[in-house]
Amino acid sequence: MSFNKVTRALAGIAAAAMLIPLAACGGGSGNGGTATAEGIPAKGTDDGTEITLWTRSPLERQAKAAVEAYNKSHKNQVKLEIIPNDDMEGKVGGASQTDSLPDILAGDVVRIPYWASEGIFTEITDQIKGLDNLDDIQQGHIKAGTVDGAEYTLPFITDVSVWVWNKDLYKEAGLDPEKGPTDIKTFTEQAKKVAALNKDGVAGSYLAGQSGGALVFDLFPSVWADGESVMNDDGTEATLNNDSMKAVLDSYKELANTTNGLGAGSKEETGATWTAPFANGKIGVMPYPNTSLNDIFDAEKSGGFQVGVTPIAGTSGKTSTFLGGDAMGISKDSKHVAQAWNFLYWLMQSDTQKEVFADNGYTASNIETLKTAYKDADPRIQTINSTIIDGNGQTPKSAAFNEAFNAAGSPWQLLVQNAVWGDGNLKSDNQAVTDVLSAQ
Q: What is the pLDDT of residues 87-142, one digit of tens each?
A: 999 999 999 999 999 999 999 999 999 999 999 999 999 999 999 999 999 999 99
Whether the pLDDT of residue 392 is over 50: the answer is yes
Residues 337 and 298 both lie in one domain: no
pLDDT at 1: 35
8 A C-beta contact, residue 329 and residue 402 = no
pLDDT at 411: 98
Query: Would you say residue 268 lies in a domain?
Result: yes
pLDDT tens for each residue of 200-249: 999 999 999 999 999 999 999 999 999 999 999 999 999 999 999 999 99
Query: Would you say residue 19 lies in a domain?
Result: no
pLDDT at 33: 52
What's the structural domain count of the chain?
2
> What's the rounded mean pLDDT across residues 264-277?
96
CATH number at residue 313: 3.40.190.10
Which H, E and C letters describe the chain, residue by residue? Answer: CCHHHHHHHHHHHHHHHHCHHHHHHHCCCCCCCCCCCCCCCCCCCCCCCEEEEEEEHHHHHHHHHHHHHHHHHCCCEEEEEEECHHHHHHHHHHHHHCCCCCCEEEEECCCHHHHHHCCCECCCHHHHHCCCCHHHECCHHHHHCEECCEECCEEEEEEEEEEEEEHHHHHHCCCCCCCCCCCHHHHHHHHHHHHCCCCCCCECECCCCCCHHHHHHHHHHHHHHCCCCCECCCCCCECCCCHHHHHHHHHHHHHHCCCCCECCCCCCCCCCCCCHHHHCCCECEEEEEHHHHHHHHHHHCCCCCCEEEECEECCCCCEECEEEEEEEEEECCCCCHHHHHHHHHHHHCHHHHHHHCHHHCCCCCEHHHHHHCCCCCCHHHHHHHHHHHCCCCECCCCCCHHHHHHCCCCHHHHHHHHHHHCCCCHHHHHHHHHHHHCCC
**Which residue range forms the structural domain that includes residue 244?**
162-322+399-438
Residues 389 and 274 both lie in one domain: no
8 A C-beta contact, residue 206 and residue 283 = yes
Query: Would you say residue 367 lies in a domain?
Result: yes
- Cross-strand bridge partners of residue 50: 77
pLDDT at 440: 72
> What's the rounded mean pLDDT across residues 270-292?
97
Residues 333 and 407 both lie in one domain: no
> What's the rounded mean pLDDT across residues 375-398?
96
Query: Would you say residue 219 lies in a domain?
Result: yes
Question: With pLDDT > 90 as the criterion, what percentage of the chain qualifies?
Answer: 91
Whether the pLDDT of residue 21 is over 60: the answer is no
- Taking residue 200's Cβ as centre, other Cβ atoms within 10 Å add up to 7
- The pairing of strands 50-56 and 104-108 is parallel
Whether the pLDDT of residue 252 is over 90: the answer is yes
The residues, ordered by sequence, that sit 6+ positions from 152 with a Cβ below 8 Å of its Cβ are: 32, 112, 116, 121, 122, 123, 124, 145, 146, 329
pLDDT at 4: 42
Query: Would you say residue 59 lies in a domain?
Result: yes
Residues 305 and 332 both lie in one domain: no
pLDDT at 251: 98
Residues 356 and 308 both lie in one domain: no
Sign of the CA dihedral running 165, 171, 177, 180: negative
> What's the rounded mean pLDDT across residues 36-55?
96
Residues 334 and 264 both lie in one domain: no
Whether the pLDDT of residue 10 is over 50: the answer is no
pLDDT tens for each residue of 419-435: 999 999 999 999 999 99
Query: Would you say residue 210 lies in a domain?
Result: yes
pLDDT at 232: 98
Sign of the CA dihedral running 380, 385, 387, 390: negative
What is the torsion angle, in degrees rounded to the nearest 10, for the CA atoms of residue 414, residue 418, residue 422 and residue 424? 150
Residues 417 and 369 both lie in one domain: no
Q: Which residue has the higher pLDDT, 11 or 283?
A: 283
The mean of the pLDDT values for the chain is 93
> What's the rounded mean pLDDT across residues 151-178?
98
Residues 303 and 350 both lie in one domain: no
Query: Would you say residue 237 lies in a domain?
Result: yes
Domain boundary at 362, 379, 394, which? 394
Query: Would you say residue 32 lies in a domain?
Result: no
Residues 370 and 422 both lie in one domain: no
Residues 189 and 305 both lie in one domain: yes
Residues 174 and 107 both lie in one domain: no
Residues 338 and 390 both lie in one domain: yes
